[in-house]
Amino acid sequence: MTGARVVLPHASSALVPQLLQAGNGVEAARVKAAFLAITDTSQTLQQQQQQQWNSTHPAVLPEDEKMLEEDRRCVKQGAGLGGLNAEELFALEPAQCVVCRLTRDRTIPKCIASTDRLHWAARTDHAHYCRDLIEDSDDPGAVHIIDAKGFSPFHYACQRGNFVIVKYLFHCAGADVNAATQAETDRFAPLHFAAINGDIKLARFLMESGAAVDKRDAKGNTPLILAAQFGHLLMIHFLVQHAADIAARDQKGNQALAWAAYEGHGDCVKHLIRAGAMLDNIDSQGTTALHWAAIQGQMAAVEVLLDAGADASLRDSSNQTAIEHAKRKKHTTLVDFIQRHLRKFPSGLTPGSGLATTIMLQLTETERLKHRLQREWMFYLLPVVCNLAMLASLSYMNWMLSWPLCLGMVVVMFAGGTPLLFDRTNGPDFDGNTRNPGMTTWFLCGMVLDVTIAVHRMWNFMLTHEPALGVVGLSSFGFMLYWYFRARMANPGYLEMGDPQDVLRTTHAEWSEAPRNLCTTCWIIKPARAKHCKICNRCVSMFDHHCPWLNNCVGKNNRAAFMRLLLAFTTSAICLLICTFNFIQLATAEIIPWSHPFMWTFSKMLMAAQQEPVLFFLFLYTLSGVCFGATILLQGIWLASNGLTINEQQNWQRYEWLKDDNGDYYNKYDRGRLRNLADAFGISVSSTPLDFSQRAAFWV
Residue 536 found at the interface with Zn ion (CB under 5 A): yes
- Residues of span 424-443 touching Zn ion by CB under 5 A: none
* Only segment of 95-103, 578-586, 627-635, 686-694 that touches Zn ion (CB under 5 A): 95-103
CB of 244 to Zn ion, least distance (A): 25
> Which residues lie closer than 8 Å to 23 by C-beta, 6 or more apart?
none
Q: How far is the CB of 524 from Zn ion (least distance, A)?
A: 7
The per-residue b/e assignment along 206-230, b for 16 or more CB within 10 angstroms, e otherwise, is bbebebebebbbeeebbbbbbbbbb
Distance (Å, whole) CA 616 – CA 262:
59
Provide the minimum distance between the beta carbon of 492 and Zn ion in the complex, in angstroms, as a whole number: 7
Closest to Zn ion by CB, 68 vs 269, is: 269
Q: Which stretch binds Zn ion (CB under 5 A): 459-467, 480-488, 538-546, 610-618?
A: 538-546
Q: Which residues pair with 462 in a beta bridge?
A: none
Nearer to Zn ion, 323 or 519 (CB): 519
521 binds Zn ion, rule: CB under 5 A: yes
Phi, psi angles (nearest 5°) of residue 445 = -55, -50
Name which position in 532, 604, 659, 675 contacts Zn ion (CB under 5 A): 532
Task: Select 394 or 533, whichever has its Cβ closest to Zn ion.
Answer: 533
CA-CA distance, 573 to 581, in Å (whole number)? 12
Query: Are the C-beta atoms of 257 and 278 separated by less than 8 Å?
Result: yes
Q: How far is the CB of 82 from Zn ion (least distance, A)?
A: 20
Min dist. Cβ of residue 395 to Zn ion (A): 39
CA-based nearest residue to 679, from 645, 655, 651? 645
Beta carbon nearer to Zn ion, 532 or 671? 532
Measured CA to CA, the distance from residue 142 to residue 394 in angstroms comes to 94
Q: What is the rounded CA–CA span in Å between residue 500 and residue 596?
A: 69
Rama region for 113: left / alpha / beta (φ>0; ψ in -120 to 50; rest): beta
C-alpha distances (whole Å) from 447 to each of 29, 179, 293, 409, 566 are 70, 73, 47, 16, 13
Per CB under 5 A, the segment of 254-262, 340-348, 515-523, 616-624 that binds Zn ion is 515-523
> Whose Cβ is closer to Zn ion: residue 383's or residue 427's?
427
Name every residue whose Cβ is closer than 8 Å to that of residue 479 and which is 6 or more positions away in sequence.
Answer: 564, 568
Q: Which of 6, 95, 97, 592 binds Zn ion (CB under 5 A)?
A: 97
Least CB distance to Zn ion at residue 496 (A): 11
Q: Which amino acid is at 129?
A: Y
**Is the CB of 499 or the CB of 660 nearer to Zn ion?**
499
Q: Least distance from C-beta 432 to Zn ion, angstroms?
A: 13
Count other C-beta atoms under 10 Å from residue 665's C-beta.
Answer: 9
- Of residues 108 and 278, the one with the C-beta less far from Zn ion: 108
CB of 93 to Zn ion, least distance (A): 10
Contact range with Zn ion by CB under 5 A, out of 16-24, 98-106, 611-619, 655-663: 98-106
**Could you say which of 289, 539, 560, 567 contacts Zn ion (CB under 5 A)?**
539
- Amino acid identity, position 691: D
* DSSP string over 475-524: HHHHHHHHHHHHHHHB---BPPPPPHHHHHHS-HHHHHH-GGGEETTTTE
CB of 538 to Zn ion, least distance (A): 6
CA dihedral 532, 538, 541, 545 (to 10 degrees): -60
Largest CA distance in the chain: 117
Query: Phi/psi of residue 286, each to 5°?
Result: 75, 15
**CB of 341 closer than 8 Å to CB of 322:** no
User: What end-to-end distance do the CA atoms of the chain give, in Å?
Assistant: 61
Cβ-based nearer residue to Zn ion, 100 or 268: 100
> Of the listed pieces 56-64, 99-107, 169-177, 312-320, which binds Zn ion according to CB under 5 A?
99-107
Q: Please say which residue, 9 or 354, places its beta carbon nearer to Zn ion.
A: 354
Of the pair 91, 289, the CB lying nearest Zn ion is at 91
- Least Å distance between CB 493 and Zn ion? 11
Cβ within 8 Å of residue 422, ≥6 positions away:
548
Nearer to Zn ion among residue 10 and residue 546 (C-beta): 546
Site string for Zn ion, 18-57 (x = CB under 5 A): ----------------------------------------
Q: Give residues 114-143 in contact with Zn ion (rule: CB under 5 A).
A: 126
Q: 535, 632, 644, 696: which one contacts Zn ion (CB under 5 A)?
A: 535
Q: How far is the CB of 133 from Zn ion (least distance, A)?
A: 12
Q: Which is nearer to Zn ion, 132 or 670 (CB)?
A: 132
Contact 615, 584 (CB under 8 A): yes
Which span sits near Zn ion by CB under 5 A: 46-54, 175-183, 258-266, 524-532? 524-532
The nearest distance, CB 551 to Zn ion, in angstroms, is 8
By beta-carbon proximity to Zn ion, the closer residue of 274 and 675 is 274
CA dist., res. 493 & res. 695, Å (int)? 10
Nearest distance from C-beta of residue 354 to Zn ion, angstroms = 11
* Burial of 253 from C-beta contacts in 10 A (0-12 / 13-18 / 19+): middle
Please, which of residues 545-604 interact with Zn ion by CB under 5 A? 546, 553
CB atoms within 10 A of CB 682: 18
Specify the amino acid at residue 295.
Answer: I
Would you say 520 or 572 has its CB closer to Zn ion? 520
Closer Cβ to Zn ion, 215 or 488, answer by number: 488
Residue closer to Zn ion (CB basis): 174 or 555 = 555
Residue 689, number of CB atoms within 10 A of its CB: 12
* CA 83/CA 87 separation, integer angstroms: 12
Which H or E run contains 547?
Answer: strand 545-547
Q: Report the DSSP pairing between strands 545-547 and 531-533.
A: unpaired
Output the smallest distance, CB 246 to Zn ion, in A: 24
Q: What share of the chain is helix, strand, coil (3-state, %, to 5)?
A: 60, 5, 40
Nearer to Zn ion, 177 or 533 (CB): 533
Alpha carbons 6 and 409: distance in angstroms, whole number: 84
Q: How many chain residues interact with Zn ion (CB under 5 A)?
A: 14
Binding window for Zn ion (CB under 5 A); candidates: 190-198, 379-387, 520-528, 687-695 = 520-528
From the CB of 94, what's the least distance to Zn ion, in Å?
6
Which among 43, 44, 39, 45 is positioned nearest to 15, based on CA atoms? 45
What does the alpha-carbon distance between residue 179 and residue 154 come to, in Å, rounded to a whole number? Answer: 9
Pick the binder of Zn ion from 522, 530, 565, 584 (CB under 5 A): 522
Of residues 97 and 290, the one with the C-beta less far from Zn ion: 97
Name residues whose C-beta falls within 8 Å of residue 184's C-beta, 6 or more positions apart in sequence: 218
Q: List the one residue from 15, 38, 92, 100 that touches Zn ion (CB under 5 A).
A: 100
Minimum Å gap between C-beta 498 and Zn ion is 9
Asked if residue 164 binds Zn ion (CB under 5 A), the reply is no
Q: What are residue 538's DSSP bridge partners?
A: 533
Smallest separation (angstroms) from Zn ion to the CB of 166: 16
Q: How far is the CB of 436 from Zn ion (least distance, A)?
A: 13
Piece in contact with Zn ion (CB under 5 A), picked from 280-288, 317-325, 544-552, 629-637: 544-552
Candidate list 89, 191, 439, 519; residue touching Zn ion; CB under 5 A: 519
Where along the sequence are the contacts to Zn ion (CB under 5 A)? 97, 99-100, 126, 519, 521-522, 532-533, 535-536, 539, 546, 553
